[in-house]
Amino acid sequence: MSSYSRIGFVASEGRGLYETHRPVSSEDIVAMANRLIRIKFARGKAITKPTDAAVYLPAQMAGFEHETFWALFLDNQHRILAFEKLFTGTLASASVYPREVVKRSLQLNAAAIIFAHNHPSGTAIPSQSDKDITHKLKEALALIEVNVLDHFIVGGDDVTSLAELGVI
């Protein structure tokens, strides 16, 4: 059993249940959520299916007033190598450079990747630009044999999978 006494939580890792022993603020809850995300996306943890990652993305991307583009780099057993914010944009867009994604994938020796970015507007509906960059990234990464598993769009608490939409 892990204890997070600074923020008043007691966490049982085996069951995934959490208790508080004192009143906690919304800041305490956000701090705990961020800590759990870091644990969930720690190097060496396995992602058994891309949708497992989608559960944690809204908390990771909450509070950004501008678009941010993230990548979850995986090895050939789909164990996490890194979870990184690659690009930051404006209120309505973020420039994503396939060359930089390929370069980082090679640096980490990634075999697979899951992308995610937020829509500060709160809608998780993918734009044509979202679909286009996903295709460009998939093509660029295929040249170095890195498999794109999914690209999630996060709008508020909603998450849309481009793989489920048939884009990937």
Report the predicted TM-score, pTM, of the whole model to 2 decimal places: 0.78
CA separation for the pair 84, 70 (Å, rounded): 6
Looking at the fold, whether 91 and 129 belong to one and the same domain comes out as yes
Looking at the fold, whether 34 and 89 belong to one and the same domain comes out as no
Which tokens in the block code for residue 22?
Answer: 């004192």
Looking at the fold, whether 25 and 66 belong to one and the same domain comes out as no
pLDDT tens digits, residue range 118-150? Answer: 999 889 999 999 999 999 999 999 999 999 999
Cβ count near 8 (within 10 Å): 17
Of 74, 148, 151, nearest in space to 110 by CA: 74
45 part of a folded domain: no
pLDDT tens digits, residue range 1-32? Answer: 344 445 555 555 555 667 777 777 877 777 77
Contact indicator for 131, 166 with CB cutoff of 8 Å: no
In the structure, what pLDDT confidence band is assigned to residue 112 with cuts at 50, 70 and 90?
very high
Residue 41 has a pLDDT of: 66
Residue numbers of the domain that contains 34: 2-40
Looking at the fold, whether 143 and 85 belong to one and the same domain comes out as yes
Domain count, the chain: 2
167 part of a folded domain: no
Q: Give the chain's end-to-end CA distance (angstroms, integer).
A: 40
CATH code of residue 109: 3.40.140.10
Looking at the fold, whether 137 and 86 belong to one and the same domain comes out as yes
Residue 78 has a pLDDT of: 92
